[in-house]
Amino acid sequence: MQVPAPFEYERATSVDHAIGLLERLGNTSRLIAGGHSLLPMMKLRLVNLEYLIDINDLHDELGYVRLARGEIRVGAMTRHRELLESDPLAEAFPIFRDAERVIADPVVRNRGTLGGSLCQADPSEDLSAVCTTLDASCVIRGSAGDRVVTMAEFYRGPYETAIEDNEMLIEIRIPVRAGGSSAYEKVERRAGDWAVVSCGAALWMDGDLISDARVGLAAVGPNTTGIPAISDALRGKAPSEELFEQAGAIAGENCSPQNDMRGSADYKRHLANELTRRALRRAVARIGGQAR
Amino acid sequence: MSMQVSMTVNGEQVTEEIEGRTLLVHFLRDQLRLTGTHWGCDTSNCGTCVVWMDGEPVKSCTVLAAMAGGREVRTVEDLEQDGVLDPIQQGFMECHGVQCGFCTPGMMMTARALLDRNPDPTDREIREAISGQICRCTGYATIVRSVQWAAAAEAAFEGRS
């Protein structure tokens, strides 16, 4: 039987209350949202705490997808199922629905949250790759107020983020730019598993030329990685199979996969290459309205 | 580290002493003696522990009993009402959806939730709904058929077909 080590359970009734508790309990405490990453880690005694602060009552406050000027704001407690079912989100960023369809399973998606996924900072985590691809930023709140960090600043290494012990992630902001689309491709060993490799692509067109493009890879490095060299290679060019091939090659070269039970490093490089091509192809087709 | 928790389980208010670390599945089985909910992989993979929390299927091995405080929990024991089986249960009997029976409680709770949201699911939608659950007898074809049987029975009962 797997059970966590003993801890004291606290339930936060508001964001301010949660931050107050974190302020008081410091690094002996952790927030729990859906709990589908944290509880398994606690059962394996990889995480041991004195206090667990349940923030599920903050869903009313932090569960939302809001259209703001020039960006979409998603509350950190928004659950996977809500992200999957959000039409405004899928319309602006089809990559979200692509990814949510292949994250865990429907029952797990009833509980897991966007904020929890990002804070887990697992190198194979799909929404981290999505947010990296979309150049999202993270709003982190502490008793002194809010600060906003980029995804690159947010990740400090596997399972490590920029969030201090007395802070919490409250919102993800994703810039909306006209003329673009996005897609997500994932290879997994079985339905609902972690990625062997997955790849997000977002692309914006100005007439016949690519004005900007971003690719984010998961499971091929210490954190999900955006690859600036691909953006440089694609900008100002017309989309073509040769160009996607070039981008795929850059992805294969610019990642650092490891041999593990999910596959060899060589196989993962091959996947990074192939999935980059597929994701870019699909994103471009979506701009032209040729694919869903 | 003990604490008190109150929640509604199958329509009844319960208040119990628990440890903060008590998982919902053990609370239901060991403290309330509702052993219809099974305890399987412990790692939120197999889905035999699925119960409803506030109307949504959840894996009770990965929810703390404390987190269910103040919420409404429904277990497989609540499917049968006044001696009448839920059409889902009937379907599992009619179509041999039960082999060894270990995955059955979770399968039925997920299937009930599916039909409540989508009374006429396609084969694919049923498979998607139970994709977080494992039948180690590999009896998926009969489970899908059982859910279809229930959907058809409910449609007939409501005069939809």
Q: Give the tokens for residue A136.
A: 């999202």
Nearest-neighbour CA in chain B from A189: distance (Å):
14
3-class SS string, A130-147: HHHHCCCEEEEEECCEEE
Q: Which of A3, A43, A192 sits opposite B132 (nearest CB)?
A: A192
Helix (H, G, I), strand (E, B) or coil at B93: helix
Inspect the interface and report whether the beta carbons of B47 and A3 lie closer than 8 Å: no
* Interacting residues of A66 by C-beta distance below 8 A, sequence separation 6+: A72, A73, A74, A75
Instruction: Tell me whether residues B57 and A52 touch, CB distance under 8 A.
Output: no
Contact A9 B3 (CB under 8 A): yes
- Report the C-alpha gap between A95 and A86 in whole angstroms: 12
In tens, the pLDDT along A253-275 reads 999 999 999 999 999 999 999 99
**Measured at the alpha carbon of residue A264, what is the angle toward residues A259 and A270, in degrees to the nearest 5?**
130
Residue ranges of the alpha helices (H) in B3-73? Answer: 24-26
Q: How many CB pairs under 8 A join A and B?
A: 82
In the numeric block, the tokens 């606690």 are attached to A42
Residue B15 neighbours by CB distance under 10 Å = 9
The DSSP line for A222-287 is SS-EE-HHHHHHHTTSPP-HHHHHHHHHHHHHS-----BTTB-HHHHHHHHHHHHHHHHHHHHHHH
pLDDT at B161: 64
Q: What are the b/e assignments for A94-123, b being 16+ CB within 10 Å?
A: bbbbbbbebbbbbbbbbbbbbbbbbbbbbb
By the 10 Å C-beta count (0-12 exposed, 13-18 middle, 19+ buried), A210 is classed as buried
Q: What is the DSSP letter of B135?
A: -
Smallest CA–CA separation between A106 and chain B, in Å? 6
Element (H, E) at A23: helix A15-25
Determine phi and psi for A165, rounding to 5 degrees.
Answer: -55, -30
Contact A8/B at CB under 8 A:
yes
Cβ proximity of A222 and A162 under 8 Å: no
ipTM, 2 decimals? 0.95
Asked if the C-beta of A20 comes within 8 angstroms of chain B's C-beta atoms, the answer is no
- Mean per-residue pLDDT over chain B, rounded: 97
Per DSSP, what are the bridge partners of residue B88?
A: none
Across the range A138-147, mean pLDDT stands at 97
Q: What is the pLDDT of residues B111-140, one digit of tens each?
A: 999 999 999 999 999 999 999 999 999 999
pLDDT in tens, B31-77: 999 999 999 999 899 999 999 999 999 999 999 999 999 999 999 99
The answer to whether A104 contacts chain B (CB < 8 Å) is yes
- A36 vs B62: CB contact, 8 Å cut-off? yes
Question: Looking at residue A269, what is its pLDDT?
Answer: 97
A107 and B67 within 8 Å at the Cβ level: the answer is no
Distance CA B4, CA B69 (A): 9
CB-CB: which of A1, A43, A111 is closest to B58? A111
Of A62, A240, A218, nearest to A131 by C-alpha is A218
Mean pLDDT of A149-161: 94
Pseudo-torsion of CA B13, B15, B16, B17, nearest 10°?
160
Tell me how close the Cα of A56 comes to any Cα of chain B, in angstroms.
Answer: 8
Q: What is the pLDDT of residues A89-128, one digit of tens each?
A: 999 999 999 999 999 999 999 999 999 999 999 999 999 9
